[in-house]
Amino acid sequence: MTIFQLIMLATAAFFAYQVYVHIQNIDEDAEPESMREMDEFEAAQLTPVEQSEEENFDERIEEADKTYVEGDLVKAKELLEGVVNDFPTMAEGMNKLAFVLSKLDEKEEALLYYRASLRINENDDMTHNAIARLLSSMDKTQEAKEHFDKAIAIDDNDEITWFNYASFMLSIGKIEEAKEMLKKALEINPSFEEAQVEFERLG
């Protein structure tokens, strides 16, 4: 697990809803600027990534991770935009760019990249999880719930997803549902301290 992934897990915890609105309606099929030529995008999907290219991808991702940890979000964004432009079929680059964009409060753009990531792998529960948290922070509650449900359908044994879903339920006043979700999180990971604290607080 990379430093960046650890950070994502940490931010998904107790204060998850500061996570990652001048545009009111976002087209479900919209793509980021670098990906609107779908013929090129689909052709790229069919092109395998050479080992040397994969190593280059990993090195550039690590550089972006390091830049993010150092607190330079703007530079991390620039680095990840370059990664996405050069590796348009690698969902990890899109997810990390979306995460950084959300931290920069560029939520609509972040959502576009998360959705583009799902075009590559629609069965990534953590991407659905991230989209759900982002939509929740944008007060798009119905869509947020749909993505939490998809994340659970893909993997119902992830305590982070259950905790985030519980936090979402609390935010819309569904106390009993939230308690059940916290209980599930604790069944999966009894040492999940944030979930235990919240579960006890709710009584």
The 10s digit of each residue's pLDDT in 119-170 is 999 999 999 999 999 999 999 999 999 999 999 999 999 999 999 999 999 9
pLDDT of residue 49: 54
Number of structural domains found in the chain = 2
Residue 22 lies in a domain: no
Residue 65 lies in a domain: yes
pLDDT greater than 80 at residue 33: no
pTM comes to: 0.73
End residue of a domain, out of 122, 153, 176: 122
Q: What is the pLDDT of residue 203?
A: 80
Question: 104 and 169 share a domain?
Answer: no
SS3 content of the chain, % helix, strand, coil (to 5): 70, 0, 30
| Same-domain status, 117 and 133 | no
Question: What would the mean pLDDT of 58-71 be, rounded to a whole number?
Answer: 95
Residues 117 and 166 in one domain: no
Please determine, for residue 90, whether its predicted confidence score (pLDDT) is greater than 90. yes
Per-residue pLDDT band for 88 (boundaries 50, 70, 90) equals very high
Both 81 and 109 in a single domain?
yes
Instruction: Choose one of 64, 87, 122: the last residue of a domain.
Output: 122
- Say if residues 49 and 2 touch (Cβ distance below 8 Å): no
24-33, 149-158, 187-196: least confident range: 24-33
Q: What's the rounded Cα separation, in Å, for the pair 129 and 134?
A: 9
- Averaged pLDDT score across all residues of the chain: 81
- Judgement on whether residues 109 and 132 belong to the same structural domain of the protein: no
Boundary of a domain, candidates 107, 122, 137? 122
Q: What is the pLDDT of residues 70-87, one digit of tens each?
A: 999 999 999 999 999 999
Domain of 154 in residue numbering reads as: 127-203
> How far apart are the C-alpha atoms of 151 and 186, rounded to whole Å?
18
CATH of the domain at 71: 1.25.40.10
6 domain residue, yes or no: no
Q: Which residues contact 12 (CB under 8 A, 6 or more apart)?
A: 19, 129, 133, 160, 163, 164
Within this chain, do residues 41 and 116 fall inside the same structural domain, yes or no? yes
